[in-house]
Structure 1
């Protein structure tokens, strides 16, 4: 087992702190600075690297380490954007603080510690002149925290690989499944008029009132859809807005629907069932509405017996000295872009806890940062020589 020495640990710790200092809040989407930092690091280490422009000032970073033959192709992935800081921090969010064995700063857990550990594992492969027959690709994408412009751009022409590992914060648990998410805006329209003068009001809210109970009835059916690891699918109406003033017939009403998915659920079938539920509940009465599916990220899973899972569980068990068992990831991430769209077996494993993501005083345990780099390095050497 390869263990980082003190000099390497300090170097990795500084790498994480530098990533945090390079602001990359999204929104508004300011990843250029951190992307250029990562690019410069790989260039300095003589690792092949490119910036892939997704939108102005928003590049993905893609690095390649190519071996001597036709071994396995492994992908390391992480996103380089972070959520906005908000207020109430105990210190400056982009000036990392090292205290009590932790690094505090925006992105420390979600997920610049995972990015730093993957970068350092690739750096060790180069510095140690490790021989391998496969290929390692590192893809650090923009815009994960919003609508995944970076990942959609990366896979648009198709990608291939044997395995993928995503460094989201799992406290170094090997996560083999996560729910997907599908979000909808459903809108009804009416005709504005004076509330006192309109005898037969064309009210957007009245139309929505016929749709809401249909969706609530459908929710119970959705919750009957189950997965052995992830539990049940779900659906909930999360926002509602309508009307303009108390004396005007409502011209518009909008709701948002959050639908959580389990593996195997199909985008078209889900939408068709929503339409059918509204029609059935209202006995086929024609209700005018528009349904916009503005976000769809499928669920993802990999077998607990898959070679990648077994290798990862073994590595985590050896380095952490605990009996690692397959776990689930409770949030969505980039996994389905690999596993579902590209048919690449994918798992999720990284330093930091999901409970620390998106909160003030975000932190990562320094020990987990070191272990993550060692585990990624060990896995890469193993897989790239198969």
Structure 2
């Protein structure tokens, strides 16, 4: 099986799919599936489409997820990033770890699975490395209605084949404008100094910091600028606030907490300043947090498969970065991420372990068989 995985991975890596140019990879995959399976090209925008594939029948669906796009090529590669180079157990190539390796195991698992009691779907989404246009388009479609569990084969940053991501923080960028009035340099008064107000406000944001194991919640200032007229004190300050939000908090709750901090600080200045806080405008919503219960049925089944193939226990954990999985999880879907071992994601000389990919393939196949049996037994 390792030879089949390597051959398919080489083919996938050879197709340049740096976002927003995923279309050539979609065309390759479309040819791969169109003769034997039901496929749908889900248009996201001009020349950009998700590819949806399905087989089997049943009221409930297991979904295999991967994203089509990679980040751009940057300086420092020692090999051709679009020509898979194998050195012992490592296969080097752009997107090999993030996430064409996982994509290859999804494809082969889909081909070789013969579900009797559930429908098996597989998706390839655009724009994950950007603002998740493909993920939102998918989640808001009928294709997701019967999906009870999403399996994502994104890179395993921790714990190798034994790690299962069961949660991620949310991320939102807020815009804030604080206004006072210009004051002549000669009439400076610290009681109406907008800089003092903003410095105290920023200091108080530390109250939103939380840490619990792998979970970290924080707010930081990513941009700041002020407006000044002539030889006067600033009268407008604009901020962009970036955030990591841990469940069960959502972005609107954090927005309210930021507002409350500003209100509290402003009382020290006799409510002199005015301010407004909004979400930074972009084409898709920001990603909300999620966390799957450790007693989840599909997590228990996947854990058994991991234990069987690796001979050691599964390690469910909370990962500190965001991805399309946030979309599925925050919409109430069970989403479990189990990926291969590798290195240098988003960096030169990205690589993936071929033996880890073979284990991942075997875990996926065992999981799908166990799910099928559980439905047959009515569990």
Distance 1:189 1:318, change over 3 A: same
* Aligned counterpart in structure 2 of residue 132 of structure 1, from 116, 121, 140: 116
Distance in 2 between the 1:87 and 1:350 partners?
Answer: 26
Aligned pairs for 1:194-205 within 5 A: none
Summarize deviations over 1:137-186 as a string: whole Å, max 9, x none.
11211111111111111122453211111111113211222222122233
Partner SS state of residue 286, structure 2: strand
Structure 2: runs of 5+ lacking an equivalent: none
TM-score, structure 1 length as denominator?
Answer: 0.83
Q: Structure 2 residue aligned with 1:310, among 300, 305, 310?
A: 300
The Cα offsets for residues 35-75 of structure 1, whole Å up to 9 and x where unpaired, read as 2212221225x1211211101121111111123x44x3111
In the TM superposition, residue 31 of structure 1 has moved relative to its aligned partner by 1.0
Question: How has the CA–CA distance of structure 1 residues 51 and 212 changed in structure 2, closer, same or farther, with 3 Å as cutoff?
Answer: farther
Is residue 279–residue 286 contact of structure 1 (8 Å, CA) maintained in 2?
no
Taking a change above 3 Å as real, the CA distance of residues 236 and 131 of structure 1, as seen in their structure-2 partners, is closer
Query: How far does residue 264 in structure 1 lie from its aligned partner after superposition?
Result: 1.2
Matched, 1:153 2:137: yes
Residue 24 of structure 1 is matched in structure 2 by: 17
- Secondary structure of the corresponding residue to residue 171 of structure 2: strand
| Aligned residues between the structures | 358
Q: Which digits, 9 at most, give the CA deviation of each residue in 1:190-223, with x for residues without a partner?
A: 999xx9x98789xxxx64652343133122x212
State the alpha-carbon separation in 2 of the partners of residues 321 and 141 from structure 1: 33
- Taking structure 2 as the reference length, the TM-score comes to 0.85
RMSD (CA atoms): 2.8
Distance of aligned partners of 1:208 and 1:109 in 2 relative to their CA distance in 1, 3 Å threshold: farther
Distance 2:125 2:199 in 1: 38
Distance 1:367 1:177, change over 3 A: same
Structure 2 residue aligned with 1:36: 27
Q: Residue 189 and residue 138 in structure 1: after superposition, are their counterparts in 2 closer, same or farther (change >3 A)?
A: farther
Q: Mean Cα displacement is larger for which, 280-289 or 369-378?
A: 280-289
- Report if aligned partners of 2:5, 2:358 keep a CA contact under 8 Å in 1: yes
- 1:282-301 equivalence runs, <5 A: 282-283=266-267, 285-294=271-280, 296-301=286-291
Report the Cα offset of residue 315 of structure 1: 0.8
Rounded Cα–Cα distance in structure 2 between residues aligned with 1:243 and 1:362: 44
Kept in 1, the 8 Å contact 2:115–2:372? The answer is no
Mapping for residues 354-373 of structure 1, pairs under 5 Å: 356-373=344-361
Q: CA deviation at 1:131?
A: 4.7
Structure 2 residue 260 is the aligned partner of structure 1 residue 276: yes
Aligned 8 A contact 1:184 1:291 in 2:
yes
1:251–1:22 distance in 2 versus 1, CA, 3 Å:
farther
Which runs of 5 or more residues in structure 1 are unaligned? none
Match of 1:264 in 2: 248
Shift of 1:32: 0.8
- Please give the secondary structure, in 1, of the residue aligned with 2:167: strand
Q: Is the 8 A contact 2:77 2:348 kept in 1?
A: yes
Q: 1:103 to 1:145 in 2, by over 3 A?
A: same
Q: Distance in 1 between matches of 2:178 and 2:14?
A: 45
How many Å separate the matches in 2 of 1:13 and 1:301? 33
> Could you tell me which residue of structure 1 aligns to residue 152 of structure 2?
166
Report the CA distance shift for 1:281/1:189 in structure 2 as closer, same or farther (over 3 A): closer
Q: Secondary structure at the match of 1:296?
A: coil
Shift of 1:246: 10
Distance 1:92 1:211, change over 3 A: same
Instruction: Choose the corresponding residue for 2:334, options 323, 342, 345.
Output: 345
Rounded to whole Å, the distance in 2 between the matches of 1:246 and 1:95 is 58
Contact kept? 2:179, 2:273, Cα under 8 Å: no
Distance 2:76 2:132 in 1: 28
Post-superposition shift, 1:339?
Answer: 2.2
Looking at structure 2, the residues matched to 115 and 246 of structure 1 have their Cα atoms a distance apart, in angstroms, of 58
User: In 2 relative to 1, CA 91–276 (structure 1 residues): closer, same or farther, beyond 3 Å?
Assistant: same
The 5 A counterparts of 1:1-386 are 4=1, 9-26=2-19, 29-44=20-35, 46-67=36-57, 69-70=58-59, 72-125=60-113, 130-157=114-141, 159-160=144-145, 161-170=147-156, 171-172=160-161, 173-187=163-177, 207=194, 210-219=197-206, 221-224=207-210, 227=212, 230-241=214-225, 254-283=238-267, 285-294=271-280, 296-341=286-331, 343-353=332-342, 356-385=344-373, 386=375
- Aligned pair in 2 of structure 1 residues 109, 280: CA closer, same or farther (>3 Å)? same
